[in-house]
Amino acid sequence: MDRNQLKKWFKSPAKMGHKYSLHVIYFCTGCGIIEIPPSITTRWDAERFGIIPVATPRQANLFLITGYVSVKTLKPIIRTYEQMPDPKFTVGFGSCPINGGMYWDSYNTIKHLDKYIPIDGWIAGCMPRPEAIFIAVTHLWTLIDKEMADGYKKYRENYKYYRANQEQLYGKLEWPPLFAGKDKK
């Protein structure tokens, strides 16, 4: 952890700010949310790394999808992701968002979440323990340092691909494209 190295702060304040002020919006789709209260309260205390839960996607910069994603809940996930302001990171938590997990043969569960929104990292396990969240966060710090956590850039560049996948699932979406200028090209 290089939070106290002032030289790095002067060199790239934005990057360091993103590393040590991860405000999380949790999407509690399934049982994964049960691991969140211990990690943000007394037992594991995520706040010492600057990680706090926030109430609205506008204030957040980390999106944690905890639990399986059904076809119905994918729509709010896309809308929440699109509402977050721009340098934003997404992490899938648990086996279910990765490949369906125990719902691998369900007709109603999304097996490839990263076809619809870009995911920067995954936490495997069913359930992952709260320590796994902290390991994921340290990995995310490394990714931010190397500028590899660029899901939001990928979403902007390949918006046509993501939008086509979303529309393939739902037919016509009721909100206009996020990057209208890019889509026309």
Query: Which residues contribute to the site for other proteins (CB under 8 A)?
Result: 3, 13-14, 16-18, 20-21, 23, 41-42, 45, 47-50, 54-56, 58-59, 61, 83-87
Report the residue number, 86 or 174, with the smaller CB distance to other proteins. 86
Shortest spacing between CB 50 and other proteins, in angstroms: 6
Answer whether 25's CB lies under 8 Å from 62's CB: yes
Report the residue number, 25 or 110, with the smaller CB distance to other proteins. 25
Closest by CA position to 30, among listed 102, 118, 138? 102
Closest by CA position to 136, among listed 24, 42, 60? 24
Tell me the backbone φ, ψ of residue 178, rounded to 5 degrees.
Answer: -70, -40
Report the residue number, 85 or 164, with the smaller CB distance to other proteins. 85
Report the residue number, 87 or 125, with the smaller CB distance to other proteins. 87
88-123: b (≥16 Cβ within 10 Å) or e: bbbbbbbbbbbebbebeeeeebbbebbbbbbbbbbb
As given in the structure block, the two tokens for residue 103 are: 């719902």
Shortest spacing between CB 95 and other proteins, in angstroms: 29
Shortest spacing between CB 181 and other proteins, in angstroms: 16
Shortest spacing between CB 61 and other proteins, in angstroms: 6
